[in-house]
Amino acid sequence: MLCHGLLSSTLLLLTFVFFTSSASVPLSHGASVPFPSFLALPPAVAGRADEAKYEVEFSWGTKRPVVEAPIGEPVDNSPVLVLAPKRTNRKDPLNDFKRYTGGWNISDRHYWASVGFTAAPLFAIAAVWFLVFGLCLLFGCLCHFCCKRQRYGYSQTAYALSLVFLILFSICAMIGCVVLYTAQERFHKSTTETLEYVVNQADTTVDKLRAVSDFIASAKLVGVDEVFLPSNVQTDIDQIGTRINSSASVLADKTVDNSEDIKDLLDSVRVALITTAAIMLLLTFLGFLFSIFGMQFLVYILVVVGWILVAGTFILCGTFLLLHNVAGDTCVAMDHWVHSPTAHTALDDILPCVDQATTQDTLIKSKEITSQLVEVVNQVITNVSNLNFSPNFKPMYINQSGPLVPILCNPFYADLTIRPCSAGEVDLTNATQVWSSYVCQVSPTGICATTGRLTPAFFSQMSAAINVSYGLNNYAPFLMELGDCTFARETFSDIYKDHCPSLRRYSRWIYIGLVMVSTAVMLSLIFWVIYGRERRHRVYSKQLVSESAQGTEREKNS
């Protein structure tokens, strides 16, 4: 009786200690002080008080102010921005528990150590549960095999309460499993959509870069009446084409590598969560069923299995809290960078910006090529098509006749600034349509047989030059956006506004589901043992009453 009483008291004490420790380690949403200014952070961003709303972490004392300055030496003269410094200001166990000041950086092991420290209480609970409950199981086994079976009484109140709590915690565990399964489905869908959006944005940028490269390369082949671009320009085309393709390949390769790593992580998380929900649901159902029907041996087996699974679930809960906080850090870092973009940040690991020097050189070279192609076309129009040569000038004579062909509008001055079109010039957008009315029909000898100043061959060559010029001119805004990393800024801004809220919501659901499951199953295990003990007491008491009644009846008969 003493052994069983001590075992039950120890289990109840373990339950009390769990709730006491949980209450003494409050959940915190991080610092509530305003978002700090950093370098040239715009006033509109200063004072952002919602920076920390994405974080669910255990408070480990008062946070000290952090010096928000770039860490390390920059590789060039471009500024290095420390992202989300206030939110990531956590204790770093790898640095004597000093505050981590490196900002969001998934490539830094100190960042992972500091964010992992937020989940330390859950890992500690898992360790305490595993050790203390394991000792309780060992103590119970020793009592069962070493202590004599004592006579004990039976309390209807204890029996009823243990049954009520067993039912209550079993229901809570099942609800937690449902919440966990539903949350992981929605979280996986949300994260997959976010990843697909990022990959699509990167792929679109790569396709446009390669289209620009193709247009520039095709400019080498464009010629009108055997008049081509100068040789030095063609050499520059080869060099800039190589640089563009290199930048596109870097962006494509990094995006593919990062997306594959993230997909593997998401798939692993999904499998772990589904497996946890299924196993815990089955464990809870079987444990409740075996307890109600008094299958004590099977209950003991499930208690041992559940003892290990609960510890594992608490570890998984801590791991997911870590991932939840990393996702929140990433959202805040994206919003921080959007309002203060710079060339070099840790966000390059997710979606790198295209090299600014390459984009600027490409933009300048595309303007030069466009301008020179226009000059090539206008040179042929002015010196060949619009002059009436004598039949003796065979190379120039094509029997030109009719109205003069309007020259092509050059969209740039000599200094490559924007130039408006003059009267009598045709724009790149409609030049082909206008010139088509100046095309003549040719004889077998290749000269015009009808009124016109352009042979079909000339018109085809001029159209090819216009297509290249128009394409390069049309991609100029895109190249300007690449130069200031607008495409990445728009991508991160859209993620912060459209995807981060759902990621935050569903990751919190998963965290809540894991806490519900692990806590409810842990308490169910305890009450499996307590209810089994009370049930045995009830059966034993009934046997004593029956034996006593039979003894009294025999005495009366004798």
DSSP-assigned states of every residue in 101-136: -S-S-TT-HHHHHHHHGGGHHHHHHHHHHHHHHHHH
Ramachandran class of 440: left when φ > 0, alpha when ψ lies in -120 to 50, beta otherwise: beta
Do 542 and 454 belong together in one domain?
no
Domain boundary among 435, 465, 483: 483
- Which residue, 264, 260, 283, is CA-closest to 272? 264
Q: Residue 165 is part of which domain span? A: 2-354+485-557
Count of structural domains, the chain: 2
CA 203/CA 201 separation, integer angstroms: 5
Q: Which amino acid is at 97?
A: F
CA 142/CA 16 separation, integer angstroms: 24
Do 37 and 165 belong together in one domain?
yes
**H-type helices in 445-485, by residue range?**
456-474, 476-483
Do 508 and 451 belong together in one domain?
no
Furthest-apart CA pair in the chain: how many Å? 154
Do 510 and 452 belong together in one domain?
no
CB neighbours (10 Å) of residue 254?
16
CB 209 within 8 A of CB 244: yes
Q: C-alpha distances in angstroms, 484 versus 338, 355, 369?
A: 11, 10, 22
Both structure tokens of 94: 């790898």
Phi, psi of 353 (to 5 degrees): -75, 155
CA 219/CA 242 separation, integer angstroms: 15
Instruction: Tell how many helices (H) and how many strands (E) occur in the chain.
Output: 12, 6
Residue 25: the pLDDT is 38
Do 64 and 192 belong together in one domain?
yes
For the chain, the first-to-last Cα distance in angstroms comes to 35
Do 470 and 416 belong together in one domain?
yes
Residue 305: the pLDDT is 92
Domain boundary among 433, 460, 483: 483
- Which residue, 33, 45, 36, is CA-closest to 340? 45
Do 20 and 129 belong together in one domain?
yes
CB 75 within 8 A of CB 343: no
Which helix (DSSP H) or strand (DSSP E) does residue 494 occupy?
helix 486-494
Do 437 and 491 belong together in one domain?
no
Residue 122 burial by CB count (10 A; 0-12/13-18/19+): exposed, middle or buried?
Answer: buried
Residues 314-342 pLDDT 10s: 998 898 888 889 889 989 998 888 887 66
- Which residue, 49, 121, 120, is CA-closest to 87? 49
Do 337 and 442 belong together in one domain?
no
Q: C-alpha distances in angstroms, 278 versus 180, 365, 475, 493?
A: 10, 61, 53, 37
Residue 1: the pLDDT is 43
Residue 555: the pLDDT is 66
Do 253 and 175 belong together in one domain?
yes
Residue 238: the pLDDT is 81
Residue 185: the pLDDT is 92
Do 140 and 267 belong together in one domain?
yes
Residue 29: the pLDDT is 39
Both structure tokens of 491: 């991508």
- Which residue, 165, 233, 506, is CA-closest to 372? 233
- DSSP annotation string for 243-270: HHHHHHHHHHHHHHHHHHHHHHHHHHHH
Residues of the chain scoring pLDDT < 70: 1-80, 144, 147-154, 225, 341-346, 348-355, 537-558
Do 478 and 492 belong together in one domain?
no
Residue 112: the pLDDT is 92
Domain boundary among 483, 500, 527: 483
